[in-house]
């Protein structure tokens, strides 16, 4: 079986947003989503406090973004965080590699796509997920801070959804760091424009840090996550009746 065929989404997975299906198919889809969550919860239960790093799958080792994201992953690992990414190549791989080689713990929530993405080789643990909305939930669920590195539509989707959840108090006010001032300068200008026109509050500009400095990132996360939430790694006991292992 070719990799492309192996990772191709089924018809039910790709059309579930196209209006009503049969009642049986709707129920079957709901069960698939439910078991996707249960499988992920079981796998991620013991990973400890994490920081999720968002970034493009398309920026490879030859780009300056890759090296800087490696440094970000290493710095987060040295703070004692598990580094979590979308599990794929590019800047996700760079963050995982930085954490892995710094002696930290590296985790990925890999999305199953018809092409392009497979788990990168710098992961201690990963899970393959069929649905983007399940994946995005998991990337937030275990994280006490989020770092946005240069990326595309998917990265911005994750960034703005996170800000929306913080803004509406659906999740706690975790620190969000946008890394890369030159790459994100037009994005930041547009966010400022929204504040000037009243479509967001000016106080919403305080929901994230805009920086190029790893030291500034570390200090910001320490003040607004480690100290704020008194982070101590929880030690859960594995339940052999549930077939769990750390």
- Record the pTM: 0.86
Q: Which domains can be identified in the chain, with CATH numbers?
A: 3-242 (3.40.50.450)
Contact 112, 9 (CB under 8 A): yes
CA angle centred on 46, ends 44 and 49, rounded to 5°: 90
164-187 residue pLDDT tens: 999 999 998 999 999 999 999 999
Q: How confident is the model at residue 219 (pLDDT cuts 50, 70, 90)?
A: very high
Contact 132, 13 (CB under 8 A): no
59-85 residue pLDDT tens: 999 999 999 999 999 999 999 999 999
């Amino acid at each position: 079986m070719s990799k492309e065929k192996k990772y191709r989404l089924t018809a039910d997975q790709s059309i579930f947003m196209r209006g009503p299906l049969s009642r049986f198919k709707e129920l079957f889809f709901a069960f698939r989503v439910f078991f996707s969550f249960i499988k992920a919860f079981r796998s991620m239960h013991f990973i400890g406090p994490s920081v999720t790093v968002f970034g493009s799958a398309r920026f490879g080792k030859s780009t300056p973004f890759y090296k800087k994201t490696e440094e970000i992953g290493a710095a987060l690992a040295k703070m004692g965080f598990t580094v979590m990414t979308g599990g794929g190549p590019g800047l996700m791989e760079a963050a995982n590699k930085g954490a892995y080689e710094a002696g930290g713990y590296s985790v990925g929530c890999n999305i199953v796509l018809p092409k392009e993405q497979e788990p990168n080789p710098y992961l201690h643990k990963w899970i393959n997920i069929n649905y983007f909305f399940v994946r995005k939930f998991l990337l937030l669920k275990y994280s006490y801070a989020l770092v946005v590195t240069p990326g595309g539509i998917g990265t911005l989707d994750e960034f703005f959804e996170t800000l929306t959840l913080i803004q509406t108090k659906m999740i706690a006010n975790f620190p969000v760091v946008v890394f890369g001032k030159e790459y994100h300068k037009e994005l930041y200008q547009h966010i400022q424009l929204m504040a000037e026109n009243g479509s967001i509050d000016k106080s919403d500009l305080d929901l994230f840090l805009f920086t190029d400095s790893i030291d500034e990132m570390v200090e910001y996360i320490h003040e607004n996550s480690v100290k704020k939430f008194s982070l101590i790694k929880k030690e859960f006991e594995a339940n052999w009746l549930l077939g769990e292992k750390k």
